Structure 1
Amino acid sequence: MKIGFISLGCSKNLVDSEKMMGMLKSGHHELVKDAQEAEAIIINTCGFINSAKEEAINTIFKMAEYKKQNCKKLIVVGCLAQRYKETLEAEIPEIDAVISIREYPHLHEILHSLLDGKELVSYGKSERMVSSKPWTAYLKIAEGCSNRCTYCAIPLIRGDNVTFPMEQLVQEAKELAQRDVKELVLIAQDTTKYGVDLYGKRSLLELLQKLHEIDGFHWIRILYMYPDEIDEDLIEGMAKLSKVLPYFDIPMQHANNRMLAAMNRRGTKEEVLALIKKIRKTYADPTLRTTFIVGFPSETQEDFDELMQFVEEVHWDRMGAFTYSPEEDTPAFDMEQSVAEEEKQRRLAILMQRQEEISLANQQKRIGTVMEVLVEAQDGLTGKYRGRGANSAPDEVDGMVIFTSKQPLALGSFVQVKITEALPHDVIGEALC
């Protein structure tokens, strides 16, 4: 059967999609990119914030149009399906099946009954399809989250943090390395909590040590590191592992201690400043990335000013920011929504404008230096290459390196690039080859 697969949302959802596509392949289904060719369409949805929910609903309605043509089945899975299963079933009759995350252990049986084809291998047991660029793959090391931030619906959707066994992850990583993956990116809702539920202690460093021993990987990157769980042992242990990049993705969400408490974020601004000082003392050129929420209930102008001062003090290399989005069934939903939408947008614009200036200043320091770059694309008209340095994750949040080369370069290879020009997010250079 010809099946179209659409994956929405974050990289963690993408890993789920890749496992599902592996299942479908095990049943001898053909995955097609053109929805007009598809006899069945599966949409893996995101339901984290309002904009993600709107994207998911719009995609469902768009794909429902193909049911008037060749498409026989429209199937919705993922976070939106978990959170609003009954509503979707009742209000969008074009959907043939809404499969919640809790049903994934039986996903092979459900899909087999819906689709023509042979028996399917159970979820997560088939060979996973890597749908991103073939030299980069995500390794999801845990599911769910136990942090209970007051604004976040993830625990409602995905449940508490559940660590995946280390031997299972090492085996999956070895299989990815055998498929010529060069960059392994560790992801979870909270990677630093890895092992607490299963082994009774934080075990991220031990996992990194085992992954570091696998032949084939050139870079190992970690995303979503909760600040209060990045301890001295982890920082110094990572520094001893040459493949593990000094890339610290630390979602802060705010800098005012009262706001952090209202968000149920552990730790204080002062503790994070001490952490950053330790990281910069340990590494010569670390990358510090964060995210912030503006307009959270009860955020005052003074609170926002403190956030701006914090940004000035740290000079983050990478930063994303969002306006607060009220999510039903979360504690913050019942708080007084005291910041008007117009004011949220004003604060966001001020924050992002200042960060762009900081990013440009940080980038300009790289002019004249040489960066190791993973080659990812070549422009057909100009011949220029595009790639990423160790300071850029593959999730389209960070910038790129745009460069020329006198010699043809293979995509997925590494090259040394001398930086000649800087933009707020990208840098420009020349390959040394």
Structure 2
Amino acid sequence: MKIGIISLGCCKNLVDTENLIGMLQQSNQEITYNLNEADAIIVNTCGFIDPAKEEGINTILEMAEYKEKNCKKLIVMGCLAERYLDQLAEELPEVDCFITLKQYNQFGPILTEVLGEKIANDYGKCPQVLTGKPWMAYLKIADGCDNRCSYCAIPLIRGGYRSFDIDALVDQAKELAKRGVKELNLIAQDTTRYGLDNYGKRRLLELLGRCNEIEGLHWIRVLYMYPDEIDDELIEGMAKLDKVLPYFDIPVQHGSDRMLQIMNRRGSVESIIRLVDKIRETYPTPALRTTMIVGFPTETLEDVQLNLEFMKRVKWDRLGGFTYSKEEDTPSYDLLDELSQEEKNRRYEEMMKLQEEIVEAKNQELIGKTLEVLVEKQDGLTGFYRGRSVFSAPDGIDGEVIFKSEEPIEFGSFVPVTITRIKAHDFYGNRVN
């Protein structure tokens, strides 16, 4: 059977999709990228925020049109199916089967019944099939979340935090390296909590140390680090691991202590500043990335100003911003949201304008420096190569390094590039021979 798969949402969802593809291929099913010839289509959905929900519904409806052609079965899985199963089943009769997150351990029998093909129940036990660039992979080290931020529905959808077995993760990382993976990105809703639930202590540093010894891996990057769980031992320990990048993705959400308390975020603004200072004392050129929410219920102009002052103090290398939107069944849903969308947008634009100014000034320090770059593509017209440095995760929002090279370069290679010019988050330069 030819099966087409659409994966929506975050990289954690993508790993679920890659595990599903591995299971289907082990059962001798053919994965096709041509949906016109697909006998069945599976859509892996996100249900976190309104734009993701809308994208999920629109994609399902679009895929349903293929049932007028060759497609016999349309299957929907993922967070949207978990969160809105009854409503979706009633409103989308075009869908033949919904598979919730809790049913992933029964993928085999469910798909066998729906597809009429024998599918082994091996989800998560088969090799992860990489759907992106062959030199990069995500390693999901845990699922769920225990942080209970007042605006977030992830614990409601994904459940409590569950760390995966450390030996199994190391084996998986070794297998990925054997297949040519050079950049390994560790992901979870909260990577810094890894091990606390099943081992009684945080073991992220140990996991990083064991992955650091794997032959073939060149870069190891950690994403989604909760600030109050990044201690001196982790920072100093990471600095001793030559493959672990000094890339700190630390979503802090706000620069006002009052807002952090209402958001049910642990720690304080001052503790975050101390953390950033420690990182910059330990590494000569670390990459610091964060996310911020503006327009949260009860946010005052004083809170906005405190947030801007916090940004000026920290000077984040990368910052992603969001305007607050209500999420049903979360604690913040019942808070009085008095701000108009226009005012939220104004505050967002003010924040991002400041961030642009900070980054523009900060990036000038990188001109003349040489960065290691993972080469990923080449422009057909100009011949310029494009790749990523320590400052850019593979999710496409951190910018690229664009450079000239007199000699041809194999994609997936690492080369030194001297930076000559910077435009926003994109760096321009020349390869060092």
TM-score, normalising length: structure 2:
0.99
Matched, 1:340 2:340: yes
Judge conservation of contact 1:28–1:118 (CA < 8 Å) in 2. Answer: no
Matched, 1:403 2:403: yes
Task: State the SS of the aligned residue for 2:197.
Answer: helix
Q: Corresponding residue for 1:251?
A: 251
Matched, 1:170 2:170: yes
Q: Corresponding residue for 2:239?
A: 239
Q: Aligned letter for 1:207?
A: L
Is the deviation greater in 190-199 or in 349-358? 349-358
Task: State the SS of the aligned residue for 2:98.
Answer: strand
In structure 2, how many angstroms separate the alpha carbons of the residues matched to 1:118 and 1:431? Answer: 52
Task: State the SS of the aligned residue for 2:366.
Answer: coil
In structure 1, how many angstroms separate the alpha carbons of the residues matched to 2:39 and 2:384? Answer: 39
In structure 2, how many angstroms separate the alpha carbons of the residues matched to 1:231 and 1:397? Answer: 27
Q: Corresponding residue for 2:311?
A: 311
Judge conservation of contact 1:27–1:121 (CA < 8 Å) in 2. Answer: no
In structure 2, how many angstroms separate the alpha carbons of the residues matched to 1:221 and 1:285? Answer: 15
Q: Corresponding residue for 1:47?
A: 47
Task: State the SS of the aligned residue for 1:196.
Answer: coil
Task: State the SS of the aligned residue for 1:380.
Answer: coil
Shift of 1:404: 1.1
Q: Aligned letter for 1:189?
A: Q
In structure 1, how many angstroms separate the alpha carbons of the residues matched to 2:39 and 2:159? Answer: 33
Shift of 1:99: 0.4
1:276-297 Cα offsets, whole Å, 9 max, x none, are: 1111101101110000000000
Q: Aligned letter for 1:8?
A: L
Could you tell me which runs of 5 or more consecutive residues in structure 2 were left unpaired when the two chains were aligned.
none
Could you tell me which runs of 5 or more consecutive residues in structure 1 were left unpaired when the two chains were aligned.
none
Task: State the SS of the aligned residue for 2:112.
Answer: helix
Q: Aligned letter for 1:354?
A: L
Shift of 1:107: 0.7
Q: Aligned letter for 1:206?
A: E
In structure 2, how many angstroms separate the alpha carbons of the residues matched to 1:86 and 1:336? Answer: 28
Shift of 1:363: 2.1
Matched, 1:351 2:355: no
Matched, 1:211 2:211: yes
Q: Corresponding residue for 2:76?
A: 76
In structure 2, how many angstroms separate the alpha carbons of the residues matched to 1:118 and 1:98? Answer: 18
Q: Corresponding residue for 1:432?
A: 432
Matched, 1:223 2:210: no
Judge conservation of contact 1:357–1:424 (CA < 8 Å) in 2. Answer: no
How many aligned residue pairs are there?
433
In structure 1, how many angstroms separate the alpha carbons of the residues matched to 2:119 and 2:395? Answer: 34
Task: State the SS of the aligned residue for 2:236.
Answer: helix
1:37-67 Cα offsets, whole Å, 9 max, x none, are: 2111100000000010001011011111111
In structure 1, how many angstroms separate the alpha carbons of the residues matched to 2:396 and 2:116? Answer: 36
Q: Corresponding residue for 2:156?
A: 156
Q: Corresponding residue for 2:195?
A: 195
Q: Aligned letter for 2:321?
A: A
Shift of 1:116: 4.1
Judge conservation of contact 2:182–2:216 (CA < 8 Å) in 1. Answer: yes
Q: Corresponding residue for 1:13?
A: 13
Shift of 1:121: 4.3
In structure 2, how many angstroms separate the alpha carbons of the residues matched to 1:314 and 1:119? Answer: 52
Root-mean-square deviation over aligned CA pairs: 0.9
In structure 2, how many angstroms separate the alpha carbons of the residues matched to 1:26 and 1:115? Answer: 15
Task: State the SS of the aligned residue for 1:89.
Answer: helix
In structure 1, how many angstroms separate the alpha carbons of the residues matched to 2:383 and 2:115? Answer: 44
Shift of 1:128: 1.2
Q: Aligned letter for 2:335?
A: M
Moved over 3 A (4+): 116-119
Task: State the SS of the aligned residue for 2:103.
Answer: helix
Shift of 1:34: 2.0
Shift of 1:190: 0.4
Task: State the SS of the aligned residue for 1:351.
Answer: helix
Q: Corresponding residue for 1:2?
A: 2
Q: Corresponding residue for 1:364?
A: 364
Matched, 1:418 2:418: yes
Q: Aligned letter for 1:298?
A: T
Task: State the SS of the aligned residue for 1:198.
Answer: coil
Q: Corresponding residue for 1:112?
A: 112
Task: State the SS of the aligned residue for 2:44.
Answer: strand
Q: Aligned letter for 2:370?
A: V
In structure 1, how many angstroms separate the alpha carbons of the residues matched to 2:121 and 2:173? Answer: 20
Task: State the SS of the aligned residue for 1:108.
Answer: helix
1:204-248 Cα offsets, whole Å, 9 max, x none, are: 111111111111110000000000000010001001101011111
Q: Corresponding residue for 2:260?
A: 260
Q: Aligned letter for 2:79?
A: C
Q: Aligned letter for 1:357?
A: E
In structure 2, how many angstroms separate the alpha carbons of the residues matched to 1:240 and 1:417? Answer: 24
Q: Corresponding residue for 1:271?
A: 271
Task: State the SS of the aligned residue for 2:198.
Answer: helix
Task: State the SS of the aligned residue for 1:289.
Answer: strand
Judge conservation of contact 1:142–1:162 (CA < 8 Å) in 2. Answer: yes
Q: Aligned letter for 1:11?
A: C
Q: Corresponding residue for 1:29?
A: 29
Task: State the SS of the aligned residue for 2:184.
Answer: strand
In structure 2, how many angstroms separate the alpha carbons of the residues matched to 1:241 and 1:211? Answer: 10
1:317-341 Cα offsets, whole Å, 9 max, x none, are: 0000000110000000011012211
Judge conservation of contact 1:192–1:226 (CA < 8 Å) in 2. Answer: yes
Judge conservation of contact 2:105–2:121 (CA < 8 Å) in 1. Answer: no
Shift of 1:191: 0.4
Judge conservation of contact 1:373–1:389 (CA < 8 Å) in 2. Answer: yes
Judge conservation of contact 2:193–2:204 (CA < 8 Å) in 1. Answer: yes
